[in-house]
């Protein structure tokens, strides 16, 4: 095999692998990414029930209700719109009323958000950046309230 042929084989193989990888990435990006919305976005964009998404805002004070079997109901608010959320499981340590929260799940036909993951901030000084942006959008953000940086971890 000559040097030229050898190089062609190499380049061909590389392009082949890259093409496969590109196909994998594109199909995965189509199927597995999750969009983030503020409660106002959810209402205004008329998100279809069943679409997977993330919502973020503050846990509305006075909205947390605990039911049997670790059922938790609460409302996520950006100051303008509230979305009722239902979650079954153990909420993070720093899940508190009036504090930032991010929930991932689906909207049910009744308008309730069925969350399968609830993330709270991980440090009392910071707020998830997504929540800060959602609050800024709705005009309920005061500079200096908390530093705009975050640490949202399950």
Partner 1 sequence: MMPELGHYALVLALALGLVQSIAPVVGARTHDAALIRLANSTAIMQFAFVAVSFAALVICYVTSDFSVATVFENSHSRMPLIYKFTSVWGNHEGSMLLWVLILSLFGAMVASFGGNLPATLKAHVLAVQSWIACAFYLFILLTSNPFLRLPQTPAEGRDLNPILQDIGLAIHPPLLYLGYVGFSIAFSFAIAALIEGRIDAAWARWVRPWTLMAWIFLTLGIAMGSYWAYYTLGWGGFWFWDPVENASLMPWLAGTALLHSAVVMEKRNALRVWTILLAILTFSLSLIGTFLVRSGVLTSVHAFATDPTRGVFILAILVMFIGGSLALFASRASALKQGGLFAPISREGALVFNNLFLTTACLTVFVGTLYPLALEAITGEKISVGAPFFNLTFGPLFVALMLAMPFGPLLAWKRGDLLGVAQRLVAASGIGALVVAVVFAVEGGQSVLAPFGVGLAAFVMVGALVDLTERTGLFRLPLTTVRARASGLPRSAWGTAIAHFGIALSMLGIISAATWGTELIAVVKPGQTVSLSGYELAFDGLIQRPGPNYSEVVAKFKVRSGGRTIGAVEPSKRSFSARDMSTNEAALMTRGAGQLYLSLGDAGNDGSVAIRFYYKPMVMLIWLGAVVMMLGGALSLSDRRLRIGAPKPAAKSALAPAE
Element (H, E) at 85: strand 82-88
- Determine, following the binding rule CB under 8 A, whether residue 28 of this chain makes contact with partner 1: yes
Question: For partner 1, which is the closer residue by CB, 108 or 124?
Answer: 124
Question: For partner 1, which is the closer residue by CB, 61 or 109?
Answer: 61
Site for partner 1 in 55-94 (CB under 8 A): 69-70, 89-91, 93-94
Site for partner 1 in 104-143 (CB under 8 A): 104, 122-125, 128-130, 133
124 alpha-carbon distance from chain centroid: 20
Judged by CB under 8 A, the stretch of 1-9, 75-83, 108-116, 138-146 that binds partner 1 is 1-9
Give the residue, chosen from 18, 49, 108, 145, that forms a contact with partner 1 under the rule CB under 8 A: 18
Q: Which residue has the tokens 């009036």?
A: 98
CA distance 49 to 71: 21
CB of 35 to partner 1, least distance (A): 5
For partner 1, how many residues bind (rule: CB under 8 A)?
46
CB 76 within 8 A of CB 82: yes
DSSP-derived pairing of the beta strands 82-88 and 113-121: parallel
Q: For residue 83, how many other CB atoms are within 10 A of its CB? A: 23
CB 38 within 8 A of CB 78: yes
Tell me the H-state helices in 46-141.
129-137
- Contacts with partner 1 by CB under 8 A lie at 1, 3, 6, 9-10, 13-14, 17-18, 20-21, 24-25, 27-29, 31-36, 54, 69-70, 89-91, 93-94, 104, 122-125, 128-130, 133, 147, 149-154
């Amino acid at each position: 095999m000559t040097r030229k042929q050898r190089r062609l084989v190499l380049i061909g193989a590389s392009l082949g692998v890259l093409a496969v990888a590109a196909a994998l990435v594109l199909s995965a990006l189509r199927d597995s990414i999750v969009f983030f919305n503020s409660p106002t976005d959810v209402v205004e964009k008329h998100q279809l029930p069943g679409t997977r998404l993330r919502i973020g805002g503050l846990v509305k004070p006075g909205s947390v209700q605990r039911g049997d079997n670790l059922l938790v109901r609460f409302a996520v608010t950006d100051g303008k719109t509230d979305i009722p959320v239902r979650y079954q499981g153990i909420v993070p340590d720093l899940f508190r009323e009036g504090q930032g929260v991010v929930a991932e799940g689906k909207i049910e036909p009744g308008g309730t958000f069925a969350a399968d993951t609830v993330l709270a901030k991980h440090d009392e000084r910071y707020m998830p950046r997504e929540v800060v942006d959602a609050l800024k959008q709705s005009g309920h953000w005061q500079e200096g309230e908390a530093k705009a940086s975050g640490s949202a971890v399950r």
